[in-house]
Amino acid sequence: MSRATDKAGTMAAETSQDPTVVASVASIALAWYYFYVKGDRERGIFVGLWAPTILSLSNYLSVRETRRQVRALTNPTRNIRESVQKMIGNQ
């Protein structure tokens, strides 16, 4: 196997274990159940809208954490050279 294939497999395994992905897939399955099996189309659509909402919230929280980490690395009291050196690990 190539290195890229190994990396893709690892990323897929990590993503599939993420609770937000599991919750979204469960939401879609429940929506299909309501929509097709029970015949309750409105509830099926309502539950189906949970998946993008869950994923959007997860994405927002991830971006917020990344932004916090970047701000911590690029402290405005330091000059640019010190910030870059800290980001690449020289300090």
pTM above 0.75, yes or no: no
Beta-carbon contacts of 32 under 8 Å, excluding residues fewer than 6 positions away, are 44, 48
pLDDT score recorded for residue 4: 59
The answer on pLDDT for 39 being more than 70 is: yes
| Cα–Cα distance measured from residue 38 to residue 24, given in angstroms and rounded to the nearest whole number | 20
Q: Would you state the structure tokens that stand for residue 51, as one six-digit string? A: 């998946």
The answer on pLDDT for 85 being more than 70 is: yes
Give residue 86's pLDDT band: very low, low, confident or very high (50, 70, 90). Answer: confident
**Mean predicted confidence (pLDDT) in 35-57:** 95
Write b or e for each residue in 30-60: b if 16 or more Cβ atoms lie within 10 A of its Cβ, otherwise e.
Answer: bbeebbeeeeeeeebeebbebbeebbeebee
